[in-house]
Amino acid sequence: MHGSPSRTRVAQAMPAPHPASAAQHHPPFWHHLKRDVFFWLLLLVCGAFSIVSPQRVADYPSLVDWHTIAALAGLLILTKAVESSGMLQLLGVRLVDAVSSERVLALSLVGASAALSTLLTNDVALFVIVPLTVGLRQVAKLPVTRLVIFEALAVNAGSALTPIGNPQNLFLWHQSGLSFGAFVWQMAPMVALLTVLLLVATWLAFPSHEIHLHAETGDVEVHKRLLLPALALYVPFLVLTDLGYPLAALAGLVVLYLIGARYVLARVDWGLLLVFVLMFIDLRLVAQLGVVRQTLDALALANPMHLYWAGIGVSQVISNVPAAILLAEYSHDWPLIAFAVSVGGFGTLIGSLANLIALRMAGDRRAWLAFHAYSIPFLVVAAGAVYAWLTWLR
């Protein structure tokens, strides 16, 4: 059936409403935030810290990485502009028309996510792939939430390869003093192992069923007034962010879209930024707790395998970026810390901030449970496999 006339005809048949009119029916971000259980949990934790130590409240703004928040906000704006242009819907139509089954589609998206994350960073890779994947809901009957979950796993695996793939690698790379190529050489075997495990898991999780397209009528319309400026602004925004000016870059974007396309700003998930602000505050307060530091002191982290399991475990509680920073105070074995926190990105939702970004963009309230149904077993397998590899090396 693949490539048949009926398949092609349906693939070209998906209407794209004008973005301005669509924005009028888009609910404000606080509408979704009111039902966001994770947001309220973070707010509850923050409130508990505030009651126990009210003198620390004035320090909360300093706990937030505002450069990361600004970079995330800018990417949200640009991604929403591309999404609103209809281009992702068109790409989704072409992609579904080109593959033969759910399994091939899943393997293609997972492979693309992992590859993009090595150079674009895990977060940026998600901003490229996840909106495209979510748009497939309008094209065909597909397990979109499951696809997004595996894309989150993929960027956590792929981004571990390079110093610029994720924030913890960037931090550890600077600590190590190694060249770019030497860092990649150290990480390549583990990333290859994780990638093989991920592709096997993807193969098992997605059937070889033929994709069933929806039978809507109409043509995909791409609004170039939205698409071309957004694409043109991506590289300058990323360059300015990399140079340390994300706040200025964000301010420029906001001004441009207030003037030319304010409905894009209205559709941005600003609630995600609030969640990230709370995560920075909560996770850094947890990392500073005496009981956390006492526990790490008692773990004899001079033992490499203790350090490995501690990195995985701590990542599940405070996320892998702060875990890397925390463990670097106890050990200078940066390769092992990098291995540990990379594996630690799997598992719980907060194991990696990329997990949160992916699931928020998926737009499925049930995604949180489904994510852990796949990510925790994958963590167990990946942690065991990497442990066996490290034991063989040593």
Mean pLDDT of the chain: 83
The answer to whether the CB of 77 falls within 8 A of the CB of 253 is: yes
In whole angstroms, what is the distance from residue 137 CA to residue 103 CA? 16
The answer to whether the CB of 117 falls within 8 A of the CB of 352 is: no
* Of residues 38, 27, 34, the one with CA closest to residue 357: 38
Token reading at 18 = 């004008």
Instruction: Say yes or no to pLDDT of 242 above 80.
Output: no
Phi-psi region of 179 (alpha: psi -120 to 50; beta: other; left: phi over 0): beta
Burial (Cβ within 10 Å: 0-12, 13-18, ≥19) of residue 265? middle
Of the pLDDT bands very low, low, confident and very high (cuts 50, 70, 90), residue 4 is: very low
* Residue position matching structure tokens 């009119």: 21
Instruction: Say yes or no to pLDDT of 19 above 80.
Output: no
* Residue position matching structure tokens 């495209």: 132
Max mean pLDDT among 136-140, 167-171, 333-337 falls in 333-337
Q: Which residue has the higher pLDDT, 264 or 379?
A: 379
DSSP letters for 272-335? HHHHHHHHHHHHHHHHT-HHHHHHHHTT-TTSHHHHHHHHHHHHHHH-HHHHHHHHTTT---HH
Question: With the C-alpha atoms ordered 156, 131, 70, 65, is the resulting torsion angle positive or negative?
Answer: negative
Tell me the CA distances in angstroms from 201 to 101, 102, 110, 343, one per residue in order: 16, 14, 11, 15
Token reading at 21 = 């009119």
Mean pLDDT in residue range 117-133: 86
In whole angstroms, what is the distance from residue 146 CA to residue 202 CA? 10
Q: Which residue has the higher pLDDT, 29 or 326?
A: 326
Q: Which residue has the higher pLDDT, 122 or 374?
A: 374
Residue 35: what pLDDT?
A: 67
Pairing of strands 140-141, 212-213: antiparallel
Mean pLDDT in residue range 275-284: 83
* Of residues 319, 326, 324, 340, the one with CA closest to residue 276: 319
* Residue position matching structure tokens 């990392």: 287
Specify which residues 141 forms β-bridges with.
Answer: 212
Question: With the C-alpha atoms ordered 293, 295, 299, 300, is the resulting torsion angle positive or negative?
Answer: positive
Mean pLDDT in residue range 186-213: 93
Instruction: Say yes or no to pLDDT of 16 above 50.
Output: no
Mean pLDDT in residue range 17-21: 50
In whole angstroms, what is the distance from residue 63 CA to residue 40 CA? 19
The answer to whether the CB of 84 falls within 8 A of the CB of 226 is: yes
Lowest mean pLDDT among 10-19, 39-48, 381-390: 10-19
pLDDT digits (tens, 9 = 90+) for 141-193: 889 999 999 999 999 999 999 888 888 887 888 778 788 889 999 999 999 99
Residue 11: what pLDDT?
A: 38
Of the pLDDT bands very low, low, confident and very high (cuts 50, 70, 90), residue 103 is: very high
DSSP letters for 226-272? HHHHHHHHHHHHHHHHHTT-HHHHHHHHHHHHHHH-HHHHHHS-HHH
pLDDT digits (tens, 9 = 90+) for 300-310: 788 889 999 99
